[in-house]
Structure 1
Amino acid sequence: MDSPPGSARSSPEAEVGLRVEDLWDIQEPQLSPSEKLNSCFESMPVSSFPLAPSSQVVEIPSDSSLADAVETLSKNKILSAPVRNMEAPENASWIDRYLGIVEFAGIAVWLLHQSEVAAQGMIAGSDATTEAADGLAAKLGTVTLETATFVEAHGGVMAKSAPEAAVSMGGSFFETLTSSDFYKNTKVRDISGSFRWAPFLALQNSDSFLTMLLLLSKYRMKSLPVVDLGEAKIDNIITQSAVVHMLAECVGLHWFEDWGTKKLLELGLPLMRPNKVVKVSEEEPVLKAFQLMRKRRIGGLPVVDGSGNKAIANLTIRDVQYLLTSPEIYKAYRSITAKDFVTSVKKYFEEHQDASPMLMNVITCNRDDTIKDIILKLDAEKRQRIYVVDKEDNLEGVITLRDIISRLVHEPHGYFGDFFDGVVPLPQNSRV
């Protein structure tokens, strides 16, 4: 593959690559290529990383409602933001000043979970669970009539599971949920620790690229705010996608080619084998796909055809946002399938040309491709994952941005030391 169009070694990302090149050339000759890269990235401060657009460096107050948070994220066209603890004193440390990072998808999945809780209460039969469901229904206000109708219509099917019940309620229930006072009054701080909520782990400008890369790969952070302790503000937010874009701009440089021309198999990719890939059939309810992502703590999965071996679409946890921002997609369905959901979203894009499409078509590669091929394809398509297929297009595995970064660097023994001291441990359900 050729260098990315327009890359003339003048972009901020390419300048980073040239700096790595200079450091690469002066490394000790006895070092392995992997050790050389580690040494280069350890020598570079995070302050050298290109700044994200100012519209992406956004904070959400902890006392914002879920509705306000969604509006802020949508307005700035970002998927996540740090949550500022409005109850923290002015002289609080950075750890105490922020509750964590909330994602658009996390809010949607949390709300979806509330519908499951209500459905479970309606079918469980225990007084305690029913009481809990009644309490939730009361909070939802106008949903009470909907749930009553559901119970009456399905009274003879008490063996139905909670997820199936939530699916049966369809878009009408969820649309009512997102228009309720419950949605408008619940504060962002109230969902702290929920799905895809990470604690606030900030970098300082003096931290190294190696630290940043390890946190985004081995330690599974989706994004990292960079703080200026002196001015008490966030200077930058670095994401996995931004790192992969930087790598795409470094094509042609000696250090990159030494690493990037290796085939997937040489780098031990894909990490996720076909029998381990979480997937959903095209005829299964799309809600099952989002529930699987939540249960398995993954960011996306393929929609497969009847054979179960060929991917026909790609769903990510971000796509659950259409249940919030575009409820009309769901309005006509009681149990929309994954296939029909994809079709409906694509049709919505065609009718709302001002919308930013979240492409759902599958991008693939094979084991003979190089890591450079993969990086350029992911960066060009603005994707988080690519599926590895054989000559018959059968799934062989999946590669994510995190997998790529994890093959760029390695963690030296005892590298982080006490770096994580004082940091709230990652909630188990945020590791996706």
Structure 2
Amino acid sequence: MASKPELERLVSATERTVLEKKELVMNNIEEENKNLQAPDGEEIKGGGLQPTEALKQFFNHVSLFSAPGISNAEVVELSMTDTIGAAIEKLFIQKVMGAPVRDPHQTGSLPLTDQYVGLLDFASLVLWALEVSTMASSFRWGPFFPVRPEDTLLHVLLILSKHRLKAVPVVDAESSKCVRAFITQNVALHLLLQCEGLPWFETIAGKEIRNAGFETEYNAEQLVFVHGDETLVTALHAMWKYRISGVPILDRPSKRLIGNIRYCDLLILLEDAQVFSKRNELLAQDFLKEHADDDGDHLQGTPLQEDFGAAISAAALSLANVKTPPMQDPVTFSSSDTMKEAMQKLFRARSDRGFIVDDVAS
């Protein structure tokens, strides 16, 4: 049985994979269970090392080097001197949904965080340029909260949660471009699912969605959606106004969820001149139907963790090698699904969003 200092040393070993570290924690808990006397024959769960302690040790010793693709990233960067049009064109050609913006006037002697002014995402640029909302005096910059490869997964999870970010840039002074990769929500989910079997994970992930605080009257009142008989530009306006990366589309008579329009779908507007020109009169439901077959073959079967890890590499927020679920096939959950089942559904669908539906309205 490993002592706590010894366990911390083993878990923190950078050459070990996430799965190997999980086994170390699991084996330690099992060994401590064997050496404890349970009253009246009861099974002691967790042993001397409580699940919460395993959580702290595990996540606080899993470096970002464990993230898939972080070692071979190719991040696209923008400059403050780029025009809006040039930035949209560059991100569109590269099929990149976001990029850090460097200030060319700052010297390399400054800290890395001072060399970048923020993050820009492709969809927000397009929405701003299309004037789907009242034209703002300046563009909405995304915050720049960088981490380093040696930082831990726990640190990244706290940043993603606290600031409601989709991705966190990983900076490295040895990289020619400094920002070497991104840790996205999908990457974090990928790593979390490898923790299956740890007692703390099973305790939390085993809770039903109905008990996780998602279904409240406040959330219901704040739900943003667009009816299928409203125009495509209405959906785009909703995404810009409420700063959301996707909007559910409901059938007005039945209130059924018939699809969702996401940031990544804005690529269609630039790829299809006809859709671009019809955006003010094209109905959202017709937009879904017209492009139902565009990505229908993207999700054949269940991806292996290794394949999915490579596809959603922590690299450049790229869509080039990542297949997304069709707009007409959004990920849905029932109230009785567990958190673990919800995570697995998102993982299999390669999606960063899902919707809780009931048995009546669906």
Q: How many residues align?
A: 305
Q: Structure 1 residue aligned with 2:122, among 104, 123, 132?
A: 104
Partner of 1:306: 252
Comparing both chains, which one has the higher relative contact order based on Cα–Cα distances under 8 Å and sequence gaps of 6 or more? Answer: 1
* 1:108–1:324 contact (8 Å) kept in structure 2: no
Return the structure number with greater helix share: 1
Q: Give CA-to-partner distance per residue, 1:245-300, whole Å, 9 cap, x none.
A: 22334445555434333322343335773332111111111211121222222222
State percent identity of aligned pairs. 29
Q: Structure 2 residue aligned with 1:290, among 224, 236, 247?
A: 236
Could you tell me how far apart the structure 1 residues matched to 2:95 and 2:76 are?
A: 11
Partner of 1:257: 202
Residue 15 in 1 paired to residue 17 in 2? Answer: yes
* 2:22–2:195 contact (8 Å) kept in structure 1: no
TM-score by length of 1: 0.62
Residue 392 in 1 paired to residue 360 in 2? Answer: yes
Q: Secondary structure at the match of 1:37?
A: helix
Q: Structure 1 residue aligned with 2:341, among 368, 373, 381?
A: 373
Cα drift, residue 322 of structure 1: 2.4
Residue 229 in 1 paired to residue 173 in 2? Answer: yes
Amino acid at match of 2:326: L
Q: Secondary structure at the match of 1:322?
A: helix
Using a 3 Å threshold, how does the CA distance of structure 1 residues 99 and 284 change in structure 2: closer, same or farther?
Answer: same
Cα drift, residue 314 of structure 1: 0.9
Residue 360 in 1 paired to residue 304 in 2? Answer: no
Aligned ranges 1:126-275 → 2 under 5 Å:
194-195=139-140, 197-230=141-174, 233-252=178-197, 256-270=201-215, 273-275=219-221
Q: Secondary structure at the match of 2:17?
A: helix
Partner of 2:64: 46
Residue 74 in 1 paired to residue 18 in 2? Answer: no
Cα drift, residue 52 of structure 1: 3.7
* 2:167–2:185 contact (8 Å) kept in structure 1: yes
Cα drift, residue 347 of structure 1: 5.6
TM-score by length of 2: 0.72
Cα drift, residue 349 of structure 1: 5.8
Could you tell me how far apart the structure 2 residues matched to 1:105 and 1:278 are?
A: 18
Could you tell me how far apart the structure 1 residues matched to 2:207 and 2:324 are?
A: 33
Partner of 2:8: none
Could you tell me how far apart the structure 2 residues matched to 1:34 and 1:268 are?
A: 21
Cα drift, residue 59 of structure 1: 1.8
Q: Give CA-to-partner distance per residue, 1:53-109, whole Å, 9 cap, x none.
A: 745522223323334433433344331111122221232221221121111101111
Q: Give CA-to-partner distance per residue, 1:11-46, whole Å, 9 cap, x none.
A: x9x931431442465578467634542342123333
Could you tell me how far apart the structure 2 residues matched to 1:247 and 1:371 are?
A: 12
Amino acid at match of 1:247: L
Partner of 1:168: none
Amino acid at match of 1:287: V
* 1:104–1:321 contact (8 Å) kept in structure 2: no
Amino acid at match of 2:245: G
